[in-house]
């Protein structure tokens, strides 16, 4: 299960800028030392409170009773002109400052949960029998391309917690806005977005 959250909106000074994009995490990482500061990339067993709050991007040393989960935090400081971005100190409990040429924006968090009970019914102890398409657990990474309407991005700043969730709507007012176009495969003769077909063809389907 893949979930995204927009956090720390109460500290944001500006909406996420239009045309902003970012890749966080290190797809070439092979150890904890390669993990970029601030990304918070880690793996843990969901519900294991002790394991959840340690900053380790290694797979757990034993099978999870529930879901295996990974977290990834995106930048929350951005230069609205150049669109360069980075992490604020507050993102992980220190200060509340961005570089002088940047403003705070909502922080995007990826949360991905894997139910491995069918794939690995016997579980594991020691080194996890798992691998990512980029390599070891340390190379987990994610990308974001800004796709919210300007009005929706501004409206997002009004949601400052679970008690004040806000509808993120488009240009035509409140509520869900139906898509105005149909998605088409860019190159139907090469590759597939279907996971089962990708496995059969020896390729991989992206997320």
- pLDDT tens by residue, the chain, 207 residues: 888 888 888 889 999 999 999 998 888 999 989 987 777 788 988 876 555 546 688 998 888 888 999 989 999 999 999 999 999 875 544 556 898 899 999 999 999 999 998 888 888 998 889 999 889 999 999 999 998 888 889 888 888 766 666 666 655 554 555 556 676 666 666 666 665 665 565 544 433
pLDDT at 193 (0 to 100): 62
Q: What is the pLDDT of residues 3-49, one digit of tens each?
A: 888 888 888 999 999 999 999 888 899 998 998 777 778 898 887 65
Q: Where are the domains of the chain?
A: 2-148
User: What is the enclosing helix (H) or strand (E) of 71?
Assistant: strand 68-73
> Taking a C-beta distance cutoff of 8 angstroms, is the pair 103, 1 a contact?
no
Percent of the chain residues past pLDDT 90, beyond the cut: 30
Instruction: Report the Cα–Cα distance between both ends of the chain, in Å, rounded.
Output: 11
> Taking a C-beta distance cutoff of 8 angstroms, is the pair 56, 43 a contact?
yes
User: What is the enclosing helix (H) or strand (E) of 145?
Assistant: strand 141-145
What's the per-residue H, E or C state across 29-62?
Answer: CCCHHHCCCCCCCEEEECCCHHHHCCCCCCCCCE
């Amino acid at each position: 299960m893949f979930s995204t959250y927009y956090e720390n909106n109460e500290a944001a000074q500006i909406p996420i800028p239009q045309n902003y994009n970012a890749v966080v995490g290190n797809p070439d990482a092979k150890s904890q030392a390669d993990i970029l500061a601030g990304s918070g990339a880690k793996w843990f067993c969901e519900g294991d409170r002790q394991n959840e709050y340690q900053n380790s991007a290694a797979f757990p040393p034993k099978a999870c009773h529930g879901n295996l989960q990974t977290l990834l935090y995106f930048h929350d400081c951005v230069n609205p002109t150049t669109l360069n971005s980075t992490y604020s100190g507050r993102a992980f409990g220190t200060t509340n400052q961005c570089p002088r040429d940047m403003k705070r924006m909502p922080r995007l968090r990826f949360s991905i949960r894997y139910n491995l009970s069918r794939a690995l019914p016997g579980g594991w102890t020691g080194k996890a029998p798992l691998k990512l398409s980029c390599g070891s657990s340390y190379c987990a990474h994610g990308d974001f391309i800004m796709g919210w309407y300007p009005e929706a991005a501004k409206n997002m700043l009004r949601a400052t917690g679970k008690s004040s969730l806000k509808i993120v709507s488009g240009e035509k007012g409140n509520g869900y806005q139906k898509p105005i176009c149909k998605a088409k495969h860019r190159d139907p003769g090469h590759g597939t977005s279907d996971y089962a077909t990708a496995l059969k063809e020896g390729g991989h389907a992206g997320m």
